[in-house]
Amino acid sequence: MFLLVQPFDDWVLQTLAASRTEALTPLMVVVSFLGEWYILLPAAAIIIFVLWHRGLILHATGFAFAVIGTTIAVVVLKFVVARPRPPEALRLVAESGYSFPSWHAAIAIAFWGYLAYLAAKRIQNPFGRVAVITGCVLVILATDFSRLYLGVHYFSDVVGSTFIGALVLLISL
């Protein structure tokens, strides 16, 4: 399935591995850590509770669907596709399981994308609205890049996972 893109995936992986720096590596580890399930799922639960408590039931339900739907889609697809991760020698952090799809990349767009949508709908101040939306987009891009930089996913994993998360996000909206 990935045979057509594997040469490009390998080239991106090798290029990023050769471009790693002592300054950027710790930042990418932190960015990736902040996208772990044990960070984002409790954060999502808190956001859902706050939205629900404020009477924003539709938004709470949509956000829950985005997060839960993306998680289910990723888990199912990991076992269906069963793509091995990049070689361990190129990884900067330990990671287990299959490579495609990337939960970090998929959940980043579902989680932060829904928050950007809420900002667009709820924040009245144009500067504040743009700042929050821009911040959300930057977190999505940083998360995606961190997974590539750390060598735990291929480029096509991240791109495909972003589409999966975006699809679930669109459905949840």
Tens of pLDDT along 36-45? 999 999 999 9
Report pLDDT for 152. 96
Over pLDDT 90: what percentage of the chain?
92
Is residue 2 very low, low, confident or very high in pLDDT (cuts 50, 70, 90)?
confident
Q: Is 3's pLDDT higher than 90?
A: no
Please indicate whether residue 3 or residue 136 has the higher confidence score (pLDDT). Answer: 136
Determine the Cα–Cα distance for residues 118 and 133; give it in Å rounded to an integer. Answer: 9
φ, ψ dihedrals at 94, nearest 5°:
-75, 135
- Taking residues 18-24, report their average pLDDT: 94
Report pLDDT for 59. 96
Report pLDDT for 151. 95
- Taking residues 9-23, report their average pLDDT: 94
Determine the Cα–Cα distance for residues 66 and 111; give it in Å rounded to an integer. Answer: 7
Mean pLDDT of the chain: 95
Enter the pTM of the model: 0.90
Left, alpha or beta for 102 (phi > 0: left; psi -120 to 50: alpha)?
beta
Determine the Cα–Cα distance for residues 167 and 145; give it in Å rounded to an integer. Answer: 20
Q: Is 4's pLDDT higher than 90?
A: no
Is residue 65 very low, low, confident or very high in pLDDT (cuts 50, 70, 90)?
very high
- Taking residues 69-80, report their average pLDDT: 96
- Taking residues 74-82, report their average pLDDT: 95
Determine the Cα–Cα distance for residues 149 and 123; give it in Å rounded to an integer. Answer: 34
- The per-residue pLDDT for range 104-154, each reduced to its tens digit, is 999 999 999 999 999 999 999 999 999 999 999 999 999 999 999 999 999
